[in-house]
């Protein structure tokens, strides 16, 4: 029995395969066009990559001569960053300073005695204040943890609390201000004060003020009692005399203690002398008398007195002017002389921090030595006190006490409530880190590291662009192998586009122009000393060790090298000239018109600007791709019609064959019937 053929279900002659074979031939132009589109898209990608490389080089070049150039950046360089640091803006002036951090700003931090884990905080209204800010809240009572959580929720950026496990099974409550400065003291009020007192955090304070009473009987080492006078707690020491005021007991120079007194200096005479005797004139001799008679007067002989020979007057004593009259004597016998007093008959006040002048020693006496020949010196109201000492309740276990930062800058003392000070030097923010006994040098300098990084970035982007141009314009595989910094993926991608534009003259000319730009001398104010990149350690062969180094093909491809040692040295000594080497205003119109970076920017601009060379290249490729895509659309319609026509034709052929086969079968059947009938 012959196979049953159903049109559209089964083909007797495998017409689908025949049609597909014919269509493959018909699709060859379409496939060729699709491959052309893929090639064009690859070329577009290559041009875009070159454009990105050019843009990167241009950005690096513009950075080195624009108004945002790193040559104007400033940094603060501290000789001891543990004492003081600084940050600087472009407005800062390049200069060196000497800072002595006497003390850093701190905030109050008070710690309680160890408290049992089951310690309960009573219910009440707890009020805390830091400076002018107040934090108050009602607490319903509870554990230390609940109290600290409640205080932290309401304290925010002013007050904080925490629990410190100082012992096993016991914790201490730490309450701290988060604002530094002597004016921002942490004060407890109401139930908060009761809690602080009950936990041993605060206690009754003691008065640290000590007034030094002046009494003639207590004075020591008096040179002449007639030259010393004490009235109304004022000690007057005449010219040439001295007196010592003992401190019994000796005063320990604790942090915060201030020595304060008032002094006056009264001039005795304008010439500084108390007068001197001249040559003696001898006794006064009365007249001897006379006699007159008859109009005739007879005079007696004058009295004859033998006078001693006159002597020259004694010389005036040398004038002495010395206002450094106050000296402190310490318990170990050493002394220190205070700064000169004011030369004025009016009393003026002077203050000294004992910690600064005593260095931890105990002060045994205050000595007044008047070495002047024409001044009397007086001192009164001598007192020693701590201006920051709290009154009333005082912390018993203070981790730190609220105080201002005290900084000496070039001999000028500055106080600030915070350790970060931005209003002292224009464009500079300094931060005090720790106190120091010695001055620390702080220099505001150009940011040479950033300048160096910008130059290295320029060289790196230049080399990547040159490498890209070398790869796409040449078919030498060695070019890619020389690029040791490439990753495996980057190396494989470069192999795909190698030689893609081997016939492009524009790229080769562009490369030559870039190579000339980095080797051309440029005008600077120091043109004789610095005009070439090679003079600061940048060139195509700067690291080669001489002729014996041998031939290296990679050095002939235009890549730049950096001799960091030479570059670092040039940045230290020729910074201004280096800035001009990259960008310089030669005609004084405030517009840069010369330099390596300027030349690179000018060369690359026509390639990457809107409507530039890269844009035209990619635009042309986009047009060709669009044309090919439209051609493919037309071809697809034609191929679809062709395939449909072939299917119709082969379908008709299949139908005709089926009909012929059916007719043949009918004839065979008819002939067989006739044969049977004749039998």
* DSSP state, residue 521: -
Instruction: With H, G, I as helix, E, B as strand and everything else as coil, classify residue 77.
Output: strand
**Which tokens is 577 given?**
């000239």
Alpha-carbon dihedral angle through residues 609, 614, 617, 621, given to the nearest 10 degrees? -100
Give the mean pLDDT of 577-601: 92
Residues 6+ apart with CB under 8 A from 600: 57, 58, 61, 458, 462, 514, 517, 518
Residue 69 CA to residue 597 CA, distance in Å, equals: 11
pLDDT of amino acid 2:
43
pLDDT, tens digit (0-9, with 9 covering 90-100), for 294-303:
667 777 766 6
Alpha-carbon dihedral angle through residues 15, 21, 23, 28, given to the nearest 10 degrees? 180
- Pick from 8-17, 19-28, 587-596: least confident: 8-17
Cβ atoms of residues 311 and 279 within 8 Å = yes
Residues 6+ apart with CB under 8 A from 362: 250, 251, 252, 253, 330, 331
**Which tokens is 600 given?**
């690179």
- Pick from 53-57, 146-150, 242-246: least confident: 242-246
596-608 vs 613-678: helix crossing angle, rounded to 10: 30
pLDDT of amino acid 620:
93
Cβ atoms of residues 139 and 121 within 8 Å = yes
pTM over 0.85: no
Cβ atoms of residues 470 and 557 within 8 Å = yes
Q: Which residue has the tokens 């620390």?
A: 440
Give the mean pLDDT of 190-198: 92
pLDDT of 335 over the 50 cut: yes
- Nearest to 122, CA basis, from 203, 202, 201, 199: 199
- Nearest to 49, CA basis, from 381, 389, 493, 631: 493
pLDDT of 469 over the 90 cut: yes
How many helices (H) and strands (E) would you count in the chain?
12, 34
Alpha-carbon dihedral angle through residues 589, 590, 594, 598, given to the nearest 10 degrees? -140
Size of the chain in residues: 679
Distance (Å) of CA 304 to CA 178, 228, 284, 300, 310: 100, 50, 12, 12, 18
Residue 43 CA to residue 500 CA, distance in Å, equals: 7
Residue 380: CB atoms within 10 A of its CB come to 18
Residues 6+ apart with CB under 8 A from 517: 596, 599, 600, 603
Residue 416 CA to residue 438 CA, distance in Å, equals: 20
pLDDT of 463 over the 70 cut: yes
Residue 624 CA to residue 632 CA, distance in Å, equals: 12
Q: Where are the beta strands (DSSP E) in 426-559?
A: 428-432, 440-446, 538-539
pLDDT, tens digit (0-9, with 9 covering 90-100), for 205-230:
665 677 787 877 677 655 667 788 88
Residue 628 CA to residue 634 CA, distance in Å, equals: 10
Q: Which residue has the tokens 């530094």?
A: 180
pLDDT of amino acid 513:
94
SS3 content of the chain, % helix, strand, coil (to 5): 35, 25, 35
pLDDT band at 410 (very low <50, low <70, confident <90, very high): very high
Complete DSSP assignment for 198-209? HTTSEEE-----
- Nearest to 398, CA basis, from 253, 210, 196: 196
For the chain, what percent of residues have pLDDT higher than 90? 47
Pick from 198-202, 254-258, 427-431, 436-440 the range whose average pLDDT is largest: 427-431
Query: Counting beta carbons within 10 angstroms of the beta carbon of residue 389, is it exposed (0 to 12), middle (13 to 18) or buried (19 or more)?
Result: middle
Residue 532 CA to residue 560 CA, distance in Å, equals: 13
pLDDT band at 278 (very low <50, low <70, confident <90, very high): very low
pLDDT of amino acid 615:
92
User: Left, alpha or beta for 411 (phi > 0: left; psi -120 to 50: alpha)?
Assistant: left
β-strand pairing of 420-425 with 428-432: antiparallel
**Which tokens is 672 given?**
């067989």
Cβ atoms of residues 114 and 167 within 8 Å = yes
pLDDT of 642 over the 70 cut: yes
Distance (Å) of CA 351 to CA 369, 571, 616: 19, 48, 79
- Nearest to 238, CA basis, from 247, 226, 248: 226
Question: What is the per-residue burial (b if ≥16 Cβ within 10 Å, else e) of 475-514?
Answer: eeeebbebbeebeeeeeeebeebbebbeeeeebbebbeeb
pLDDT of amino acid 556:
66
Cβ atoms of residues 218 and 246 within 8 Å = yes
pLDDT of amino acid 275:
40
pLDDT of amino acid 272:
44
pLDDT of amino acid 543:
60
Select the more confidently predicted residue: 229 or 564: 564
């Amino acid at each position: 029995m012959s196979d049953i053929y159903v049109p559209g279900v089964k083909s007797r002659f495998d017409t689908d395969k025949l049609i597909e074979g014919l269509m493959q031939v018909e699709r060859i132009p379409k496939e060729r066009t699709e491959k052309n589109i893929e090639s064009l898209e690859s070329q577009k990608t290559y041009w875009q990559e070159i454009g990105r490389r050019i843009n990167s080089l241009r950005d690096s070049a513009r950075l080195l001569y624009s108004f945002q150039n790193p040559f104007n950046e400033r940094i603060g360089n501290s000789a001891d960053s543990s004492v003081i640091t600084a940050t600087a803006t472009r407005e800062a002036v390049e200069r060196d300073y000497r800072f002595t951090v006497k003390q850093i700003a701190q905030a109050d931090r008070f710690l309680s005695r160890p408290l049992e884990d089951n310690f309960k905080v009573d219910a009440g209204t707890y009020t805390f204040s830091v400076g002018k800010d107040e934090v108050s809240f009602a607490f319903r009572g509870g554990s230390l943890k609940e109290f600290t959580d409640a205080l932290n929720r309401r304290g925010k950026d002013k007050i904080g609390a925490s629990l410190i496990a100082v012992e096993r099974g016991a914790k201490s409550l730490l309450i701290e201000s988060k604002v530094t400065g002597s004016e921002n003291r942490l004060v407890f009020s109401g139930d908060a004060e009761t809690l602080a007192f009950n936990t041993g955090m605060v206690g009754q304070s003691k008065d640290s003020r000590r007034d030094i009473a002046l009494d003639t009987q207590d004075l020591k080492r008096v040179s002449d009692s007639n030259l010393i006078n004490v009235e109304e707690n004022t000690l007057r020491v005449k010219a040439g005399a001295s007196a010592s005021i003992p401190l019994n007991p000796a005063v320990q120079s604790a942090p915060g203690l201030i020595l304060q007194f008032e002094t006056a200096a009264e001039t005795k005479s304008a010439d500084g002398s108390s007068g001197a005797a001249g040559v003696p004139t001898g006794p006064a001799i009365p007249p001897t008398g006379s006699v007159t008679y008859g109009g005739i007067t007879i005079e007696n002989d004058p009295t004859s007195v033998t006078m001693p020979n006159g002597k020259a007057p004694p010389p005036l004593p040398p004038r002495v002017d010395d206002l450094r009259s106050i000296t402190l004597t310490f318990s170990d016998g050493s002394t220190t002389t205070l700064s000169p007093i004011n030369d004025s008959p009016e009393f003026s006040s002077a203050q000294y921090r004992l910690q600064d002048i005593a260095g931890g020693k105990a002060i045994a006496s205050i000595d007044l030595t008047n070495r002047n020949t024409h001044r009397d010196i007086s001192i009164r109201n001598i007192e020693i006190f701590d201006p920051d000492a709290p009154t009333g309740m005082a912390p018993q276990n203070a981790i730190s006490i609220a105080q201002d930062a005290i900084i000496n800058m070039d001999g000028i003392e500055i106080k600030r409530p915070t350790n970060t000070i931005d209003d002292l030097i224009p464009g500079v923010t300094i931060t005090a880190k720790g106190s120091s006994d010695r001055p620390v040098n702080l220099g505001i300098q150009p940011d040479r590291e950033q300048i160096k990084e910008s130059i290295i970035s320029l060289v790196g982007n230049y080399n990547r662009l040159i490498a890209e141009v070398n790869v796409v314009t040449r078919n030498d595989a060695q070019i890619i192998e020389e690029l040791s910094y490439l990753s495996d993926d980057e190396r494989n991608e470069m192999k795909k586009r190698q030689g893609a534009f081997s016939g492009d003259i524009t790229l080769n000319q562009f490369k030559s122009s870039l190579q000339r730009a980095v080797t051309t001398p440029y005008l600077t104010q120091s043109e004789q000393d610095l005009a070439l990149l090679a003079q600061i350690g940048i060139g195509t062969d700067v690291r080669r060790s001489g002729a014996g180094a041998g031939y290296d093909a990679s050095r002939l491809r235009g890549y730049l090298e950096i001799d960091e040692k030479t570059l670092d040295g040039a940045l230290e000594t020729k910074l201004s000239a280096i800035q001009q080497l990259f960008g310089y205003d030669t005609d004084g119109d405030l517009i840069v018109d010369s330099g390596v970076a300027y030349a690179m920017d000018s060369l690359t601009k026509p390639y990457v600007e809107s409507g530039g060379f890269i844009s035209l290249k990619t635009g042309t490729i986009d047009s060709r791709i669009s044309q090919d895509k439209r051609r493919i659309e037309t071809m697809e319609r034609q191929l679809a019609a062709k395939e449909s026509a072939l299917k119709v034709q082969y379908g008709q052929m299949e139908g005709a064959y089926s009909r012929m086969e059916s007719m043949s079968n009918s004839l065979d059947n008819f002939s067989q019937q006739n044969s049977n009938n004749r039998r």
